[in-house]
Amino acid sequence: MEACGIFFIDTNIHVIYLICKYITCILHTNCLFFTLREPCKKTSSADKAKILLSSIRKVINSRFPDLFDKFNDLTDRRKRKEYAMAEIITGSLFMYIFKETSRNAYNNNRREEGFRENVLNYFGFNLPHTDTSDDVLRELPPGELEALKAHLASGLIEQKFFRKFRFLNKSYLVAIDATGIASFDHKHCDHCLTKTSKSGVVTYFHYVLEAKLVTSTGLAISLASEFIENQQDRDYEKQDCEQKAFVRLAAKIKKYFPRLPVCILGDGLYPNNTVFDICQKNNWQFIITLKDGNLKTFQQEVALLKATSSKENVYRANKNTRTTLEYEYLNDIEYDRRYFSWVECNETVVNRKDKATSHQRFTYITNVTQNVQNIVRTADSGRLRWKIENEGFNSQKNRGYELEHKFSRVSFIAMQNYYQLLQIAHIINQLVERSKQVVALLAEHSKQTIVDLWRKMTAYLIFSHAQENILTPSLPD
Ligand SMILES: [Zn+2]
């Protein structure tokens, strides 16, 4: 009996022991689970806004330390000077940095006392009404802001910001392309281009030819811009106008970046002797799209020699697709007593799931002699030309900068100055969006977007109390 009693007590102790062990194990597992699992970070909206604001300030102070001094050096034709020149220009620049979409939207925010005070506290400048800035931008020679933009881009190049993106460790990839920026149903200024429809309706518009430094990571940094202007009331003819504008644009690139090793990326409008001459004279490389109809004699020789071309195949795969890239090249193909290389890339993409297959062909003419080591880099760099359309024009039209909005309805000079300020703001914001802090915010959850971060920043500037923020003036007196 006694033995049985001991056994009973023992059994109870054993059960309690097991229960305790079980609870400890669950607690331990849970602790371990919470320890091993990365804590879900949730930054408040106000903190997100503050991080974004400090990133903008940091990019300007570290990458463009003389920006505000340079604004003060611009031509000032005002008689009454309520604001410093730097405040006038910075005010318009920040309209684009804040992605305000219109002067009216910016003025509506500016009416809020908190917004003005917060901008003063964060960036150290008083925010003028956009009409005050507009008066100045109508009088400011547009070449001055363009030269300043080139100075800022030069600074980034000197800081070796783009060094790792150079083509064959030598040249900076400079994509060239034109885009429309404004269209009117009436004559806007003496410089408007015109197009007459079949029914006789005349449209007035402005086009600008851009040279942007592009990288494989999606940066598109404006180096120079050339407005395409009307030619004795003739209707706009893309080929003719863009080619003439390229001659002026190339001169600007050479003037602002005299020693920069350049590789020009152009579309099917650019394989012609004018472009080849300019590249030869400036010692620039080029990789230019060759359409089927371009340079007939060159393409005939390619067709004759194609069977002897050198080839290189590359396979790339990710979780969704399998891509086969067949690269092909020929050197020393004659065109008008000059010799260039021909490059082609045939891309086949197979979707892993449904096995759907797509095919694309990319053909280029280049003055870079091809070999097995550089063929892939050459064709891949040629394809970066589309970055000027996507990361360049598309971003500036549709992602908060409103490139096609009429920031000035009457003045061609102001229109050009707004254009240059938009380019400078876009350069600054591209660096901000790639800064460590902002990338970390975007990585917090999959639905966090750049658009949402900017909205939070504007709301914070309007609604937070200025005195809560640290007074850190950035502008000189
Ligand atoms: Zn006009």
The pLDDT of residue 233 is 62
- Cα 187 to ligand 1 centroid, rounded to whole Å: 7
Q: Which pTM does this prediction carry?
A: 0.85
pLDDT band for position 6 (cuts 50, 70, 90): very low
Q: Ranked by mean pLDDT, which of 26-30, 283-287, 456-460 comes out on top?
A: 283-287
Q: Give pLDDT, residue 474.
A: 46
Q: How far is the CA of 195 from the centre of ligand 1 (A)?
A: 13
Cα of 1 to ligand 1 centre, how many Å? Answer: 111
Structure tokens at 405: 């909005």
Question: Who contacts 26 (Cβ-Cβ below 8 Å, separation ≥6)?
Answer: none
Q: What's at 313, amino acid-wise?
A: N
Q: Round to whole Å and give the CA distance between 377 and 95.
A: 39
Q: How far is the CA of 189 from the centre of ligand 1 (A)?
A: 4
What separation in Å is there between the alpha carbon of 18 and the centre of ligand 1? 86
Contacts of residue 191, Cβ cutoff 8 Å, sequence gap at least 6: 206, 227, 229, 230, 412
DSSP state of 409: S
DSSP codes of every residue in 300-348: HHHHHHGGG-EEEEEEEE-SSEEEEEEEEEEEEEEETTEEEEEEEEEEE
pLDDT of 56 strictly over 90? yes
Instruction: Determine the pLDDT at residue 105.
Output: 83
Task: Give residue 234 CA to ligand 1 midpoint distance, Å.
Answer: 14
Confidence of residue 34 (pLDDT cuts 50, 70, 90): very low
191 CA from centroid of ligand 1 (Å): 5
- Give the span between the Cα atoms of 116 and 121, in whole angstroms: 9
Structure tokens at 410: 């009457």
Q: How far is the CA of 63 from the centre of ligand 1 (A)?
A: 34
What is the Å distance from ligand 1's center to 290 Cα? 33
Higher pLDDT, residue 377 or 33: 377
CA 316 to chain centre: 26
Least confident of 30-34, 213-217, 339-343: 30-34
- CB-CB contact of 396 with 390 (8 Å): no
What is the model's pLDDT at position 38? 46
Residue recorded with tokens 């979409």 = 101
Residue type, 168: L
Model confidence band, residue 3 (pLDDT cutoffs 50, 70, 90):
very low
At 464 the pLDDT is 86
Statement: residue 21 has pLDDT above 60: no
Lowest mean pLDDT among 35-49, 221-235, 348-362: 35-49
Q: What is the mean predicted confidence (pLDDT) over 213-231?
A: 91
Q: What pLDDT, on a 0 to 100 scale, did the predictor assign at position 300?
A: 96
**Ligand 1 centroid distance, CA of 416 (Å):** 10
CA of 190 to the centre of ligand 1 (A): 6
Asked if pLDDT for residue 359 goes beyond 90, the answer is: yes
Residue 17 has pLDDT above 70, yes or no: no
Residue 401 alpha carbon to ligand 1 centre in Å? 20
Ligand 1 center–CA 188 separation, angstroms:
4
Distance 131 CA to ligand 1 centre (A): 20
Mean pLDDT along residues 194-221: 91
Q: Lowest mean pLDDT of 49-53, 156-160, 202-206, 222-226, name the range.
A: 202-206
Quick: pLDDT tens for 61-102: 999 999 999 999 999 998 888 899 999 999 999 999 999 878
134 CA from centroid of ligand 1 (Å): 17
Task: Give the pLDDT score at 20.
Answer: 53
pLDDT tens, position by position, 111-124:
888 989 999 998 98
pLDDT band, residue 408 (cuts 50/70/90):
confident
Asked whether residue 28 carries a pLDDT value surpassing 80, the answer given is no
Asked if the model's pLDDT at residue 476 lies above 60, the reply is no
Give pLDDT tens digits for 229-268: 876 666 777 766 888 999 999 999 999 999 999 999 999 9
Distance in Å, CA 356 to ligand 1 centroid = 48
- Burial bucket for residue 469 (CB in 10 Å: 0-12, 13-18, 19+): middle
Span from the CA of 424 to the centroid of ligand 1 (angstroms): 22
Close Cβ partners of 141 (under 8 Å, ≥ 6 residues apart): 75, 413
Residue 461 has phi, psi (to 5 degrees) of -60, -35
Q: How far is the CA of 198 from the centre of ligand 1 (A)?
A: 22
> Of 145-149, 368-372, 470-474, which range is least confident?
470-474
* 52 against 5, higher pLDDT: 52
Question: Over 60: is that where the pLDDT of 9 sits?
Answer: no
Ligand 1 centroid – CA 222 distance (Å): 22
Question: Tell me, what's the pLDDT at 19?
Answer: 62
Residues measured by CB to lie within 5 Å of ligand 1, the ion: 188-189, 192
pLDDT of residue 68: 93
Q: How far is the CA of 182 from the centre of ligand 1 (A)?
A: 8
Distance 381 CA to ligand 1 centre (A): 35
Interval 179-188 mean pLDDT: 85
